[in-house]
Structure 1
Amino acid sequence: MNLDLLKRTRMYKGYNQYQMAEGIGLTRQTYNYKENGKSSFNSDELLRITTFLDLSFKEVNEIFFDNLISK
């Protein structure tokens, strides 16, 4: 998982950590821990992030799967 790319994508799309956390149903502190690699996102949270940020397949592949998924 490319957490730096997740952070840059979040910021590019205009969200701070509080807005992101609220949008996916986490506290800001929990989201911060996960975005900074101190804890892991579960599959449900990854789905909510994908939906909230309206990520494309390419973005999901780059951020969450390090480009390991091929079409």
Structure 2
Amino acid sequence: MDLRTYLDGERGRLVKLAEAIGAHTSDLSAWANRKRPVPIPFGWPIEIATLGVVGRLDLFSADVIRKVWPDLAQPKEIA
């Protein structure tokens, strides 16, 4: 899910998520509105704090995913 959609889903989510990941609400708002890109170090904390609803695959381009988290870029094998 896209970050803006997640934040709009419930009143107070912006503040709660900002506190959970140690970011300023103004920064989180700018990321959600695509005024600034989400810094890579915040990708995993956002995914954890949203219980996977907003994942790194939702936050970053395929190029960034391949470079930073190559395991996410690989197709999953079904055993």
Question: Is the TM value for this pair above 0.5?
Answer: yes
2:28 to 15, 18, 31: 31
Amino-acid identity (%): 15
Radius of gyration: which is bigger? Answer: 2
CA distance in 2, matches of 1:46, 1:15: 20
Structure 2, unpaired ranges of 5+:
66-72
Aligned length: 66
What is the TM-score of this pair, normalised by structure 1?
0.65
Ranked by relative contact order (alpha carbons within 8 Å, sequence separation 6 or more), the top structure is 1
- Do 1:13 and 1:53's aligned partners in 2 also have CA atoms closer than 8 Å? no
What is the TM-score of this pair, normalised by structure 2?
0.60
* Pairwise CA distance, 1:10: 4.0
Over the aligned positions, Cα root-mean-square deviation in angstroms equals 3.0
Structure 1 segment 1-71 matched on structure 2, within 5 A: 5-12=2-9, 16-55=13-52, 60=55, 63-64=58-59, 69=73, 70-71=75-76
